[in-house]
Amino acid sequence: MSDESRQPKASRRAFLTGSLAAGGALAAVGAARAAGDPAILELPDWTTTLGEGVDANPYGMPSEYEAHVVRRNVPWLTADPVSSVNFTPLHELDGIITPNGLCFERHHGGVAQVDPAQWRLMIHGLVETPLVFTLEDLKRFPRVNKVYFLECAANSGMEWRGAQLNGVQFTHGMIHNVMYTGVPLRTILEECGLKPAGKWMLAEGADAAAMTRSIPIEKALDDCMVAFKMNGEALRPEQGYPARLVVPGWEGNMWVKWLRRLEIGDKPWHHREETSKYTDLLPDGTARRFTWEMDAKSVITSPSPQAPITHGKGRTVITGIAWSGRGTIRRVDVSLDGGRNWLPARLDGPSFDKSIHRFYHEFDWDGRPLYLQSRAIDSTGYVQPTKDALRSVRGVNSIYHNNGIQTWYVNENGEAENVEVS
Amino acid sequence: MSRFPELGLILALAAGLQAAPASAGPLGLGRPATPDEIAAWDIDVRPDGVGLPEGRGGVAEGEELYSDNCAVCHGDFGEAVGRWPVLAGGQGTLTADRPIKTIGSYWPYLSTVYDYVHRAMPFGAAQSLSHDEVYAITAYLLYLNDLVDEDFVLSRENFLSVRLPNEPNFKDDDRLQTETFVFDEPCMKDCKPGEPTITMRAAVLDVTPEGDGEGSLE
């Protein structure tokens, strides 16, 4: 933009903006009421000068005013950022689809940068013919498009002992929900010919962690996919480019990225990610293994600690998300008084199996403190429990699968805080 | 160069067709994996010993390998440096307020140690250890957990004779059988007496997003 005519001018608008900052918000509102709103009375730069051409951004990015809507990490959570996690900014999102660039990341050996021409998928073990597929082969299979949530088993895991992280991005942001394009795993396995003795499948990634998980063959043949696109475009490298396993409704660890190998066997492998990790320690010292499903869960995304109420009393929109690894969401209840009374929320948008659902509750806020909670009920009749109910069985050391009801305390100023209430 | 490249190609195709079909399935996609290819990628090991390669290694060799390749993160005695994973000790802590989950205190199967060390360790130099080296390091990890003597040598032959103490304490997912309260009809009105009382606040802890918090994923 070297053209002089396109440069922002030192306009009266800039002068007014400066005086607004100096005069304070109240004076600004008064002036706007007296003479009218400068945002209307003054022509802004974007009305008087030309914007960027179509050649400026071959791959577009959000408005500069949305620069705060980013993934964030919590350095103290893990020893190293290479085997770590970051968080989706749920408080700024709406609808049910997570933008690809904001989908949380969880790696165990960093982001593998796989050359798609060098990518291979091998299927062997208890099959009639072990086969190797290229990416081109994969794209010649019949495809399906499905919207699914992917939730890390450790989502909300830092909250087992109580309220710790002050923001829905951190307490619930190890989740994303995108449309996957790919091939049903059943179709690919049938190409190899499954032997009847094949009861389990080992999925393995091509990254430096060589992530492996054992998956029962019933699940593999039911709704698993090998996906190569998310939200219409190629998978992002951090999401497993060029292909990942999709395991609908089950803990994110099993959605093996940079998928390179599927082995069919007659027993589970009991590998590191299903023994040392992703097993759930109980108070008596025993541990649950193979806790695959992600149970019904919900959270209010706004208002929340990172998204306070700034408009004062009056019409207020409460919104949030609900999901279940066991089906669709039948109902979401919202409480304004810490679980004393509940009202059914308004579900909006598509309701897909094992996908995020969007809910709203619109009401007139009288300015009194709120103790906001949401409670999901899924298509199996499962009702999202309280954290105390879960702790009564599981204690506080199971790390994974915390789907307890979240409370946000909203004070008279509209500021919200992560709390627990009795 | 053959004077008849096309003929050579045809012969190669014919040989391939005799060895195996182009693919097994109805769509005719993909091509058979060769035994060498499967051997190159099939590195997994199961609790029943399936997948274990030939090899052996003792505690003494393991100690040297561990000191050179592992101790910088996991500590000289498996006690860990900083937030890196603890590998030894912690026996008897699984019912404690702060359990220490290690190979000796928590892991159910020795095969997982062999498999994981081989596929993913050392962190940043995965799959750089030979079969014998992985046997030796596995033997040393058993020694650090007081499960074998210092003259112990681990091999494919005696691998299944070693059992980890916590093997019996894992059970398959029983959430829906033991947590049946999740199917109770939920209360909608006057569910609790009195006003809500805040019992815990994240703002007091103040570890968002930085700080020295209590919780950890690892």
Mean pLDDT in residue range B34-50: 98
pLDDT at B204: 79
Residues of B with Cβ-Cβ distance to A420 under 8 angstroms? 198-200
Q: Of A253, A285, A317, which residue is a domain's last?
A: A285
Q: Is the minimum CB–CB distance between A292 and chain B shorter than 8 Å?
A: yes
- State yes or no: pLDDT of A23 exceeds 60: no
Contacts of B17 (CB under 8 A, 6+ apart): none
Confidence of residue A27 (pLDDT cuts 50, 70, 90): low
- State yes or no: pLDDT of B58 exceeds 60: yes
How much of chain A exceeds pLDDT 70, in percent?
92
- CA nearest B95 in A: which residue? A285
Look at residue A168 and tell me if it is in a domain: yes
User: Tell me: the pLDDT tens digits for A146-180?
Assistant: 999 999 999 999 999 999 999 999 999 999 999 99
pLDDT at B210: 44
Residue A362: both structure tokens together: 């619109």
Are A257 and A389 members of one domain?
Answer: no
Instruction: Give the structural domain span for A372.
Output: 297-419
Are A118 and A265 members of one domain?
Answer: yes
Q: How far separated are the first and last CA of chain A, in Å rounded?
A: 59
Confidence of residue A295 (pLDDT cuts 50, 70, 90): very high
Are A339 and A280 members of one domain?
Answer: no
User: Tell me: the pLDDT tens digits for A49-98?
Assistant: 999 999 999 999 999 999 999 999 988 888 888 889 999 999 999 999 99
- CA nearest B209 in A: which residue? A74
Higher-confidence residue of A82 and B185: namely B185
Q: How many angstroms separate the CA of residue B3 from the nearest CA in chain A? A: 31
pLDDT at A31: 54
Which of A313, A280, A226 lies closest to A401 in space, CA to CA? A280
Q: How far separated are the first and last CA of chain B, in Å rounded?
A: 58
> ∠A79-A81-B218 over CA atoms, to 5°?
40
CA dihedral A146→A152→A155→A160, nearest 10 degrees, is 130
Q: How many angstroms separate the CA of residue B64 from the nearest CA in chain A? A: 24
Are A221 and A367 members of one domain?
Answer: no
Cβ-Cβ contacts under 8 Å between A and B: the total is 292
Look at residue A88 and tell me if it is in a domain: yes
What does each C-alpha distance from A367 to A34, A360, A364 come to in angstroms?
A: 28, 19, 9
pLDDT at A338: 98
Higher-confidence residue of B83 and A255: namely A255
pLDDT at A72: 96
User: Tell me: the pLDDT tens digits for A376-398?
Assistant: 999 999 999 999 999 999 999 99
- State yes or no: pLDDT of B4 exceeds 80: no
Higher-confidence residue of A25 and A303: namely A303
CB contact residues (below 8 A), chain B span 59-88, against chain A: 73, 82-85
Look at residue A235 and tell me if it is in a domain: yes
Are A320 and A267 members of one domain?
Answer: no
Which residue among B44, B82, B195 sits closest to A269, beta carbon to beta carbon? B44
Q: Is the minimum CB–CB distance between A76 and chain B shorter than 8 Å?
A: yes
Are A189 and A119 members of one domain?
Answer: yes
User: Tell me: the pLDDT tens digits for A309-338?
Assistant: 999 999 999 999 999 999 999 999 999 999
Look at residue A46 and tell me if it is in a domain: no
Q: Is the minimum CB–CB distance between A164 and chain B shorter than 8 Å?
A: yes
Look at residue A11 and tell me if it is in a domain: no
Strands A287-289 and B170-172, by their bridges, are parallel
Q: Is A127 exposed, middle or buried (0-12, 13-18, 19+ CB in 10 A)?
A: buried
pLDDT at A174: 98
Q: What is the number of structural domains in chain A? A: 2
Question: Under an 8 A CB cutoff, do A77 and B210 touch?
Answer: no
Question: Under an 8 A CB cutoff, do A193 and B48 touch?
Answer: no
Mean pLDDT in residue range A94-104: 98
- State yes or no: pLDDT of A34 exceeds 80: no
Whole-number average pLDDT of chain B: 89
Look at residue A59 and tell me if it is in a domain: no
Strands A346-348 and A416-421, by their bridges, are unpaired
Write down the ipTM of this complex.
0.89
Strand partners, A49: none
Domain ranges of chain B: 9-33, 43-169
Are A192 and A233 members of one domain?
Answer: yes
- State yes or no: pLDDT of B79 exceeds 60: yes
Look at residue A35 and tell me if it is in a domain: no
Q: What is B43-169's CATH number?
A: 1.10.760.10
pLDDT at B203: 77
Residues of B with Cβ-Cβ distance to A133 under 8 angstroms? 29-30
Are A281 and A316 members of one domain?
Answer: no
Are A280 and A301 members of one domain?
Answer: no
Question: Under an 8 A CB cutoff, do A202 and B44 touch?
Answer: yes
User: Tell me: the pLDDT tens digits for A210-251?
Assistant: 999 999 999 999 999 999 999 999 999 999 999 999 999 999
Which residue among A132, A158, A419 sits closest to B201, beta carbon to beta carbon? A419
**Torsion-angle region of B196 (φ positive above 0: left; ψ -120 to 50: alpha; else: beta):** beta
pLDDT at A60: 97
- State yes or no: pLDDT of B213 exceeds 80: no
CB contact residues (below 8 A), chain A span 187-246, against chain B: 187, 190-193, 202, 204, 208-210, 212
Mean pLDDT in residue range B97-107: 97
pLDDT at A29: 55
CA dihedral B21→B24→B29→B32, nearest 10 degrees, is -60
Whole-number average pLDDT of chain A: 93
- State yes or no: pLDDT of A12 exceeds 70: no
Q: Of A285, A308, A324, which residue is a domain's last?
A: A285
Higher-confidence residue of A7 and B150: namely B150
Are A268 and A399 members of one domain?
Answer: no
Are A222 and A348 members of one domain?
Answer: no
Q: CATH number of the domain that A120 lies in?
A: 3.90.420.10
Residue A327 and residue A349: Cα distance in Å, rounded?
A: 16
Are A241 and A309 members of one domain?
Answer: no
Higher-confidence residue of A420 and A18: namely A420
- State yes or no: pLDDT of A4 exceeds 50: no
Q: CATH number of the domain that A389 lies in?
A: 2.60.40.650
Is the pTM here over 0.80, yes or no?
Answer: yes
Which residue among B82, B187, B201 sits closest to A163, beta carbon to beta carbon? B201
Look at residue A403 and tell me if it is in a domain: yes
Residue A321: both structure tokens together: 């998300």
Question: Under an 8 A CB cutoff, do B123 and A375 touch?
Answer: no
Q: Is the minimum CB–CB distance between A422 and chain B shorter than 8 Å?
A: yes
CB atoms within 10 A of CB A112: 18
Q: Is the minimum CB–CB distance between A378 and chain B shorter than 8 Å?
A: no
Per the CB < 8 A criterion, the answer to whether A333 and B186 are in contact is yes
pLDDT at B25: 84
Confidence of residue A360 (pLDDT cuts 50, 70, 90): very high
Residues of A with Cβ-Cβ distance to B72 under 8 angstroms? none
Residues of A with Cβ-Cβ distance to B100 under 8 angstroms? none
Q: Is the minimum CB–CB distance between A186 and chain B shorter than 8 Å?
A: no
Which of B81, B74, B159 lies closest to B115 in space, CA to CA? B159
How much of chain B exceeds pLDDT 90, in percent?
81
